[in-house]
Structure 1
Amino acid sequence: MKTVVFDLDGTLADTSGDLIAAANACFRQMGEGDLLDASRDAGTALRGGRAMLTLGMQRLGRPLDDATIDVFYPKLLEAYAQDIDSRTYLYPGAMDAVETLKSSGYRVAICTNKPEALADQLLRRLGVRDIWQSMLGADSLAVRKPDPEHLHETTRRAGGDPAQSMLIGDSITDRKTAQAAGVPCVLVTFGPAGGDMSALKPEALLHDYADLPGIVAELIGKAA
């Protein structure tokens, strides 16, 4: 079965606001103010909790301290779990495109470097958990993106063939994952990660989710 696999953060949904709020909660616990800004630091948010904590420490002028980050990373995840969706939104047309693909016979799945429990919680809060035929997070396996096995196993659990899959993402990590897996990659151009997605040379760029079904059919063919 042909399978379309999606990244989550920055691809299906803009989660940066809630991620930054969780990081700022940690900085307040350190006795500091809110060090990150939702508009300026959205790209860093989508690189994960440790990246946000590192950026905050740099703004304080402190040397990089892995021990401090190790202490506060679980606190960040706890704060995020307590307020995971108040600032998060699905991109316009994203779920319409997913529904169209699924009704056309494609398998649809999520492969994310967000911890699985948090990804599951977020998708349920957004009301879109049940549409996916599989969802693997950063801790679902012993490996994670850009290791191709993360993508391959996501596809297999969706009932698909890894050789007939593709990845929709928003970052160099997604691009490297698809390259390692030997499958096409589509990168969205509207995510907070910013930058020039065309420079990563994906097989296609996605400017509007309305265009995705046509791109999928072009890259991996129509579903059987």
Structure 2
Amino acid sequence: MTPSTPAQSGKFPGTVDAVIFDWAGTLVDFGSLAPTQIFVEAFAVFGLRITLEQARGPMGLSKRDHIRTLLADVGIQAQWVERFGRPSNDLDIDAVYHRFMPMQIAKVAEYSRPIPGAVETLRALRSQGIKIGSCSGYPRQVLDVLLPDAAVDGIAPDCVIAGDELPAGGRPGPYMALANVLALGASDVRRCIKVDDTVPGIEEGRNAGMWCVGLTLSGNEVGYSQSELASADPADVAARVARATEKLTQAGAHYVIESVADLPAIVAAIGARLARGETP
């Protein structure tokens, strides 16, 4: 995409106003492990076998939409028909969701630890007067458990929007990102940055008219825990990072980095582009 020039966009204030973060795989829960494992366990309750890779596929969507997407998978749907003698329907999506929720609530606090560098990055942004927003595919009930523990560790955005609390819906629509703009009083979506480790999260930011930064190594697309990463074959790590970079770039990310620890330099680069009159 060719950036806008000052002549094309008119006078434009060249500073970053707000950064809007995802949660799992972005600010907390290195590898986005909490939701992934619980999907596997929730489907097992209904006698369905899904892999961690399948569970990761729709990550970034609201959890009900995530379940809907998984049940639409040909192989998973075939298991459902074999077990229950009919295709799944909306009531079945509700049933899986209601089984998933208490399991997720019980486990999410175990995965609330900040991703290395997250606390320092938030501190650096605030020191520049940049507002801190956030949104998640997690429903509000799950976030209400996660947020207090994350805050104790230094992760406390100015705004938190949950995946189930907007009538218009969640990702890849722009609604949660735009709700942050309203809540934060950000002056212009073109001065906002969306940071996310999933394809729907990047699409959300693009649909909202924001700069978008994708995260690879810490997030869902690579999928390592920190302990797994420490013992992984470097060639496998590089291959996973390359695949994640390609997916997030194709989704529309303006920049792709390994983790939130690398974000301050990108915010500075975007600020410089804004100063030149460029827009997302």
Distance 2:134 2:80 in 1: 37
Long gaps (5+) in structure 2: 1-15, 82-86, 223-243, 274-280
The answer to whether 1:29 aligns with 2:45 is yes
Q: Aligned pairs, how many?
A: 219
Asked if the contact 2:143–2:162 (Cα under 8 Å) also holds between the matched residues in 1, the reply is yes
Q: Which amino acid aligns with 1:65?
A: S
Distance 1:29 1:210 in 2: 38
1:160 paired residue number: 186
The answer to whether 1:98 aligns with 2:122 is yes
Q: Which amino acid aligns with 2:216?
A: T
Q: Which amino acid aligns with 1:149?
A: Y
2:163 paired residue number: 138
Q: 1:94-133 to 2 correspondence within 5 Å?
A: 94-126=118-150, 127-128=152-153, 131-133=156-158
Asked if the contact 1:116–1:140 (Cα under 8 Å) also holds between the matched residues in 2, the reply is yes
Q: Which amino acid aligns with 2:255?
A: A
Distance 2:266 2:255 in 1: 7
Q: Report the TM-score when normalising by structure 1.
A: 0.81
1:8 paired residue number: 23
More helix by proportion, 1 or 2? 2
Deviations 1:94-117 (A, max 9, x none): 221112111221000102222123
Deviations 1:45-84 (A, max 9, x none): 7344514566697187234513322212112111111221
Q: Which moved more, 1:17-26 or 1:205-214?
A: 17-26
Asked if the contact 1:23–1:53 (Cα under 8 Å) also holds between the matched residues in 2, the reply is no
2:197 paired residue number: 170
Long gaps (5+) in structure 1: none
Determine which structure has more spread, i.e. the larger CA radius of gyration: 2
Q: Which segments of structure 1 move beyond 4 Å, counting only runs of 4 or more?
A: 51-57
Distance 2:131 2:158 in 1: 7
Q: Report the TM-score when normalising by structure 2.
A: 0.66
Which secondary structure does the structure 2 equivalent of 1:91 belong to?
Answer: coil
Aligned-residue CA RMSD (Å): 3.0
Q: 1:181-196 to 2 correspondence within 5 Å?
A: 181-190=208-217, 191-194=219-222, 195=244, 196=246
